Amino acid sequence: MDKINIIFDDEFPSTFTNNTIAKKLPPNRLRRYSVTVRLNEVELSKVNQSRGQLSRSYWLRSSALKQLPPSVPEVNKEAWHQLTASLQKLNDLTSFLIRRGSDAQPLSNEVDTLRLKLSHVRDALLSLDK
């Protein structure tokens, strides 16, 4: 999955450091332009409902750039978390099988297939409402 917030990555030191030189971003990463958007009450309420805990500016920018984090419908959250845990366990099993060598290759292929199918099910939970 892509990084959600590309500004806070490992390329640049934290903004909490005391080194003022380290805080400067390269010119191509600075946000210099401001865009004003006017909304009516209904539109504003939809934005506020969709953005959750995110700031309006962050949500609008991410939405426009198609970088929003996945939104799991409330009814599917428990299944989403369980599938995430299962996928992590499969990743651990795959790592173990890789360390075992070539004799575990057939089982490793089966685990990869299962992981792919579980990923598809988990992705489908993003669009299911019931």
- pLDDT tens digit sequence for 83-118: 888 888 888 888 887 787 777 777 878 888 888 888
pLDDT one-digit tens code per residue, 32-51: 888 898 999 999 999 998 88
Q: Which of 46, 85, 71, 86 is nearest to 128 (CA)?
A: 71
Cβ atoms of residues 96 and 108 within 8 Å: no
Sequence-ordered list of residues with C-beta below 8 angstroms from that of 102, at least 6 positions apart, any chain: none
Cβ atoms of residues 52 and 94 within 8 Å: no
**pTM of the predicted model as reported, rounded to 2 decimal places:** 0.42
- Can you give the pLDDT at residue 19? 57
Tokens 């795959």 belong to 94
Sequence spans of domains, the chain: 74-124
pLDDT one-digit tens code per residue, 47-87: 998 888 888 988 888 888 888 777 767 777 788 788 888 88
Longest dimension (CA), the chain: 64
pLDDT band of residue 23 (cuts 50, 70, 90) is low
Report the C-alpha gap between 116 and 32 in whole angstroms: 41
- In the predicted model, what is the mean pLDDT of residues 8-20? 51
Report the C-alpha gap between 98 and 90 in whole angstroms: 12
- Can you give the pLDDT at residue 17? 56
Residue 1, pLDDT > 50, answer no
Report the C-alpha gap between 115 and 121 in whole angstroms: 10
